[in-house]
Amino acid sequence: MSDERSGGGEFDFIERLRRREQKRSGAVGDDSPLSTLHSSLLKGIGDDAAVIRQRAGFDTVITADLLVEGVDFELEGGGATARDVGHKALAVSLSDAAAMGARPTMCLLSVGVTRERWRTGFLEEFYRGVRPLAERYGVSVIGGDLSRTPERVVVDSVVLGEVRKGRAVLRSGARPGDQIFVTGSLGGAAAGLRVLGARAGSRLTRAEGRLVKRQLRPEPRVEWGRLLGEERLASAMIDLSDGLSSDLAHLCRESGVGASIEAESVPVDSLLKSPALEESERLSLALDGGEDFELLFTVPARRAARVPAEVGGVGATRVGEVTADASRLTLVREGRPRPLRPRGFEHFGGRRR
Amino acid sequence: MSDERSGGGEFDFIERLRRREQKRSGAVGDDSPLSTLHSSLLKGIGDDAAVIRQRAGFDTVITADLLVEGVDFELEGGGATARDVGHKALAVSLSDAAAMGARPTMCLLSVGVTRERWRTGFLEEFYRGVRPLAERYGVSVIGGDLSRTPERVVVDSVVLGEVRKGRAVLRSGARPGDQIFVTGSLGGAAAGLRVLGARAGSRLTRAEGRLVKRQLRPEPRVEWGRLLGEERLASAMIDLSDGLSSDLAHLCRESGVGASIEAESVPVDSLLKSPALEESERLSLALDGGEDFELLFTVPARRAARVPAEVGGVGATRVGEVTADASRLTLVREGRPRPLRPRGFEHFGGRRR
């Protein structure tokens, strides 16, 4: 081990991580203050598996997201930092839990790093990105794995959440007439990716810097998700990872419905005005761009007025309506309807990167 | 998508996987026959997250294992097949669940593959390795992720299991005087790795072939683990992934105890006699080799007689005793005690591969 970094081998790293997490989550077990808040952790890092006791009256949601250097993020040439990767890996899975109407509670992070990155402290920095986000939402790191990779960093982020029994918001619950909403604004993350691609390493304007942040440090809509689940407002929900056009298509297929979106209502990120994009390009980034990690949800018309204007400083906008035409998506622009085709990201579809 | 493999893009693949899993696990939901057996799956593949209802009176265990091509397995030059990788990825996590005394119930598999392997059907083959093992133990694939990797296959395997409330068997429960047991036999997987390294591509003897199988297709001791948990026989348990010397050290450290192992009692894999290794080398493979995925467990002396001779055709052997000397491990050979040093695998310890 002495030939590796001064901090010791992987077991030492895991031991330090474990101590920090134990301190954070307080005493683990039934008399922990945490266990009155949510499902309790009986055993975290440091055994063959973690042990969890689900709070009575709740279901568990679980989701996994795999991020690969060179495909899902770039570490070289002014791309993401290790902290960015830590933040984003957790954020994308928190976003999935939020899209179920659940409160995220715990996570497992499996990370593969090269020897070089191990030596230069990638993992410590990675966890410096994970921790603030985990703390903000009361999420404990309870496990995961650590492996060596020959060339690239890979991260698999698994998030557990809890939702009141039977209240998980699926993609399949949308019905004709339901109103369609999205949280926040769209297109910023995709525009940020363009900025990174075009201007890596060069000095960014303030607006460009903020777009890049939308790409590298997406903020999962955890409070919105929980509220929509708790209050039984949303009939269906999905998070915007692939892009509105694709994710809406997923939701409609699962629900056996169609949708009509009003172009003028789509909340295009105001930052897109600054890099002086044409309006149609801005709209296209907002509809097809992906990785905004906003929530798209449907609400029965009679409850639509109960959707709050904002939650935790983040607004929601009505963008259209669910229709009975199974899987037909329409974009209405200046009064004229045209088909809205899914143009989002597929790893093996060859559309991006 | 048409430029990719004939089966379609990743969404099509996931859709096929989902249909197959739905068929396997029967109708999902409360009236499913599965839900009377174990925790029920309310929603599997096909949403932002899976939704699980934990059976009342049970705790959940969860574990993750990351396997990287070129580090944890080799696909080129007569190494593992895609099926082997599927089997092993699930097996190592099932083994962790077993080591908690839990019954494995569900898994999430995150897989990163190159375009080339995607085109040539790696994933279908991978799942052909996963499925028989999952079926044998009643485990459903409920989620995961799929990503592209530029060079290597990576797999993160997450297994969930259930154990009666408060009965999870931790590493920390061993007490001085407890008897130490291991299931099955040791050293075969490490010897199989040597065979693969030395004779890749060449024709193997029958014994060599069986050793290679111990390396590529380890059999997790699921029935043993469950029984030891259910019957409250084991005071502490760990699975042998890093090697007996290392894993025993982990268990002793967590329990604040030491251990004395009798060399003559260690169940060295009988296959090791065939490649004509010296006895000391055989013992060293059995003690330090790793990846046998047998279970190491401790039993209070008064209950030791209740440990069955075998479970599901796999035996267990008493190999030593827990001592009060915190973290001191001793190997007694021909009546002479000497220190037993952990020599197992660390990814960043540079000892193997």
Both tokens assigned to B260: 């004395």
Percentage of chain A surpassing pLDDT 90?
76
Q: Which member of A46, A66, A95 has the closest CB to residue B145? A: A66
Q: Looking at the complex, does the CB of residue A165 fall below 8 Å from at least one CB of chain B?
A: yes
Q: Give the pLDDT band of residue A235 (cuts 50, 70, 90).
A: very high
Contact A63 B142 (CB under 8 A): no
Chain B residues 183-212 within an 8 A CB cutoff of chain A: none
pLDDT value at residue A300:
98
Give the tens place of pLDDT for each residue, A195-226.
988 876 678 888 889 999 999 999 999 999 99
Compare CB distances from A154 to B43, B53, B154 and report the shortest one's residue.
Answer: B154
Across all residues in chain B, what is the average pLDDT?
Answer: 90
Closest partner residue to B150 (CB to CB) among A97, A146, A152 is A152
Put simply, whether A59 touches B (Cβ < 8 Å) is: yes
Q: How far is B282 from chain A (nearest CA, A)?
A: 25
Residue B116 near chain A (CB below 8 Å): no
Q: What angle do CA A187, B11, B52 make, to 5 degrees?
A: 95
B102 CB neighbours in chain A (<8 A) are 49
Would the CB atoms of B46 and A254 count as touching at under 8 Å? yes
Cβ–Cβ under 8 Å, residues B100 and B61: yes
Neighbours of B339 (CB within 10 A): 8
Contact A171 B46 (CB under 8 A): yes
Q: B-contacting residues of A 291-350, CB under 8 Å?
A: 346-350
In chain A the first and final C-alpha atoms are separated, in Å, by 38
pLDDT at B38: 62
What separation, in Å, do the N-terminal and C-terminal C-alpha atoms of chain B show?
A: 38
Chain B residues touching A144 at Cβ < 8 A: 64, 66
Q: What is the pTM of this model?
A: 0.92
Q: What is the pLDDT along chain B (353 residues), one digit of tens a residue?
A: 333 444 468 888 888 888 888 776 544 443 444 444 567 899 999 899 999 999 999 999 999 999 999 999 999 877 899 999 999 999 999 999 999 999 999 999 999 999 999 999 999 999 999 999 999 999 999 999 999 999 999 999 999 999 999 999 999 999 999 999 999 999 999 999 999 888 766 788 888 899 999 999 999 999 999 999 999 999 999 999 999 999 999 999 999 999 999 999 999 999 988 767 888 899 999 999 999 999 999 999 999 999 999 999 999 999 999 999 998 999 999 999 999 999 877 778 643 33
**Contact status, residue A142 vs residue A108, Cβ threshold 8 Å:** yes
pLDDT at B76: 84
Interhelix angle A206-216/A188-199, rounded to 10 degrees, is 110
Q: In the prediction, which pLDDT does B126 show?
A: 97
The two tokens of residue A152 are 């690239």
Name the nearest CA neighbour of A10 among A128, A119, A86: A119
What's residue A24's pLDDT?
A: 66
Nearest CB to B148; choose among A68, A112, A118: A68
pLDDT reported for residue B199? 75
Q: Where are the beta strands (DSSP E) in A201-328?
A: 236-239, 258-262, 295-299, 310-311, 314-323
| Pairs across A and B, CB distance < 8 A | 248
Chain B residues whose CB is inside 8 A of the A112 CB are: 66, 68, 71, 154
User: In chain B, which residues have their Cβ closer than 8 Å to the Cβ of A348?
Assistant: 1, 4-5, 9-10, 115, 118, 148
The residue with tokens 């990155």 is: A117
* Long-range pairs for A300-309: beta carbons < 8 A, 24 or more residues apart: A300/A175, A300/A177, A300/A178, A300/A179, A300/A235, A301/A177, A301/A178, A301/A179, A303/A233, A304/A179, A306/A231, A306/A233, A307/A181, A307/A233, A308/A227
The pLDDT tens digits for A156-195 are 999 999 999 999 999 999 999 999 999 999 999 999 999 9
Assess A121–B contact: CB distance below 8 Å, yes or no.
no
Q: What is the pLDDT of residue A1?
A: 32
DSSP string across A165-233: TT----GGG--TTPEEEEES-BSHHHHHHHHHHHHTTSPPPHHHHHHHHHHHS----HHHHHHHHHTT-
Contact status of B43 with chain A (Cβ, < 8 Å): yes
B141/A contact by beta carbon, under 8 A: no
Chain A CB within 8 Å of residue B220 CB: no
> Within the 1-20 window of chain B, which residues sit less than 8 Å (CB to CB) from chain A?
1, 3-5, 9-11
The one-letter code for the residue type at A221 is R
pLDDT, tens only, A30-47: 344 444 456 789 999 989
Contacts of B141 in chain A (CB under 8 A): none
Structure confidence at residue B95 (pLDDT): 98
CA distances from B18 to A306, B11, B55, B352 (A): 35, 10, 23, 38
Written as six digits, the tokens of B296 are 């190491």
Is the pLDDT at A75 greater than 70? The verdict is yes
> Distance (Å, rounded) from C-alpha B67 to C-alpha A53?
28
Q: Please name the residues in contact with B294: beta carbons below 8 A apart, sequence gap of 6 or more.
A: B182, B183, B184, B185, B186, B221, B239, B240
Q: CB–CB of B96 and A49 under 8 A?
A: yes
For the segment A288-311, the average pLDDT, to the nearest whole number, is 97
pLDDT for B37 equals: 52
Q: Does B46 touch chain A (CB under 8 A)?
A: yes
A172 touches chain B (CB under 8 A): yes
Can you read off the two tokens belonging to residue A60?
């568990």
Q: Is A112 in contact with B254 (Cβ distance < 8 A)?
A: no
Closest chain B residue to A10 measured between Cα atoms? B348
Pick the residue from chain A with its C-alpha nearest to B156.
A156
Q: pLDDT digit string (tens) for B155-181? A: 999 999 999 999 999 999 999 999 999
Across the interface, do B62 and A160 touch by the CB < 8 Å criterion?
yes
* Nearest CB neighbour to A97, from listed B49, B144, B150: B49
The single-letter DSSP state of residue B142 is E
Pairwise CB contact (< 8 Å): B170 & A43: yes
pLDDT value, residue A309: 96
Q: Which of A3, A35, A48 to mutate to test the interface with B (most CBs of B within 10 A)?
A: A48
CA A158 to chain B, closest CA, distance in angstroms equals 8
CA distance readout (Å), A353 to A51, A128, A213, A344 = 39, 27, 19, 12
pLDDT in tens, A99-146: 999 999 999 999 999 999 999 999 999 999 999 999 999 999 999 999
Contact assignment for A100 to B48 by CB distance below 8 Å = yes
The pLDDT assigned to B277 comes to: 80
List all residues 6 or more positions away from A234 whose beta carbon is below 8 Å from its beta carbon: A101, A169, A173, A228, A297, A298, A299
Contacts of A163 in chain B (CB under 8 A): 51
Q: Compute the distance between CA of residue A339 and CA of residue A334 in angstroms, rounded to an integer.
A: 14
